[in-house]
């Protein structure tokens, strides 16, 4: 009996190791394992970038090509920690196509520049990463933009490129900052601008000792090119809630505009939101207890949840990175990067 239990334990542990999961954790067997499609070991590339650094951080993103060429890109940012007293930035982006074929490794223009959010295809066909431009093949873009301090989210309407973000340096805010980059990468007339989240009359007093923590964070943004509408996803950390609101792009960049003029979001749900990803079709949550939820919503017009959520056993580890490619019709994929194994895996649509 002891031998049987030992063999069972070993087999389960081996299966769990192959799945890169936390054995004996809450969610040892992710429900999407049977959807495994492709995997690539990036260990040697990461080692060449980190060059022996003791601490390396990662960020995984997918940028969706809005043009007919459909050159969607998967981007893994590898950031070695700088040495003591050094200000030299050595982070690089590993640029892959949606099938995880590596196309290049992008560096910043100088060691004083850096990569950061937002990530998006820009209006000139290049990819915007923070204030840097790279080509879809991972080569330096035609220019580097002026650093703005904004991160947040970006998108293109085909002519201009827009960035919306919680104001630089703010944990939460009652306003969003935005930039409208013109085709020549100058700012539009009203840019940089401010979009109020709620009216001034509905805000707490600035004398409240907890005022800096009572506002909102922008945690998701999607643009529907067919309807020219924006769907904003906001978090209220102090309340543990996620809110979403949809308005036309033209309204969002109008001086004096308010995102939620009545003080009510279109949709709201409770969540501690360790990870959120949104698109024009819905919202993904990777919860702290390991469950992964997909909430579908209407794609145009008034925003509301439709149907029932899809729930699956997810991943208890918060160190792994996720990104989603939602194309509107199959194939659509989820990508997961495991920093411990250095393996990037693609999973077929399960939602």
Tokens of 8: 């069972």
Tell how far CA 73 is from the center of its chain.
13
Q: What is the pLDDT of residues 135-152, one digit of tens each?
A: 999 998 777 788 888 999
pTM above 0.85? yes
Closest CA to 231 of 167, 153, 151, 170: 153
* Alpha-carbon dihedral sign for residues 276, 89, 106, 78: negative
pLDDT at 14: 40
**pLDDT tens profile 20-50:** 444 333 344 689 999 999 999 999 999 999 9
Contact 349, 332 (CB under 8 A): yes
pLDDT digits (tens, 9 = 90+) for 223-269: 999 999 999 999 999 999 999 999 999 999 999 999 998 767 899 99
Strands 119-121 and 310-313: unpaired
Query: Count of residues for the chain?
Result: 351
Three-state secondary structure call for residue 313: strand
Euclidean distance between CA atoms 93 and 105, whole angstroms:
5
């Amino acid at each position: 009996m002891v031998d049987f239990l030992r063999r069972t334990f070993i087999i389960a542990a081996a299966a769990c190791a192959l799945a890169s999961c936390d054995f004996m954790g809450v969610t040892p067997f992710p429900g999407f394992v049977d959807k495994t499609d492709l995997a690539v070991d990036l260990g040697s590339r990461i080692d060449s970038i980190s060059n022996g650094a003791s601490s390396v951080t990662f960020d995984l993103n997918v940028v969706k090509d809005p043009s007919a060429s459909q050159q969607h890109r998967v981007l893994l940012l590898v950031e070695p920690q700088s040495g003591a007293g050094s200000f030299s930035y050595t982070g690089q982006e590993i640029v892959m196509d949606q099938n995880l074929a590596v196309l290049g490794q992008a560096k910043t223009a100088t060691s004083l520049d850096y990569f950061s959010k937002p990530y998006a295809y820009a209006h000139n066909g290049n990819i915007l990463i923070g204030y840097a431009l790279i080509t879809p093949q991972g080569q330096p873009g035609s220019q580097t933009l002026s650093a703005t301090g904004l991160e947040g989210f970006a998108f293109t309407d085909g002519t201009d490129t827009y960035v919306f973000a919680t104001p630089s340096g703010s944990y939460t805010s009652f306003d969003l900052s935005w930039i409208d980059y013109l085709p020549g990468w100058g700012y539009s007339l009203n840019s940089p601008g401010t979009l109020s989240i709620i009216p001034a009359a509905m805000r707490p007093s600035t004398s409240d000792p907890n005022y800096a923590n009572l506002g909102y964070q922008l945690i998701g943004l999607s643009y529907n090119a067919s309807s020219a509408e924006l769907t904003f996803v906001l978090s209220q950390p102090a309340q543990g809630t996620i809110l979403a609101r949809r308005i036309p792009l033209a309204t969002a960049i109008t001086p004096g505009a308010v995102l939620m003029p009545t003080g009510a979001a279109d949709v709201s749900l409770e969540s501690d939101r360790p990870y959120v990803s949104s698109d024009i079709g819905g919202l993904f949550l990777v919860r702290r207890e390991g469950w992964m939820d997909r909430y579908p919503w209407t794609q145009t017009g008034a925003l509301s949840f439709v149907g029932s959520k899809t729930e699956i056993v997810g991943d208890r580890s918060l160190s792994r990175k996720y990104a989603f490619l939602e194309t509107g019709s199959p194939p659509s994929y989820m990508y997961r990067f495991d920093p411990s194994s250095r393996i990037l895996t693609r999973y077929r649509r399960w939602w």
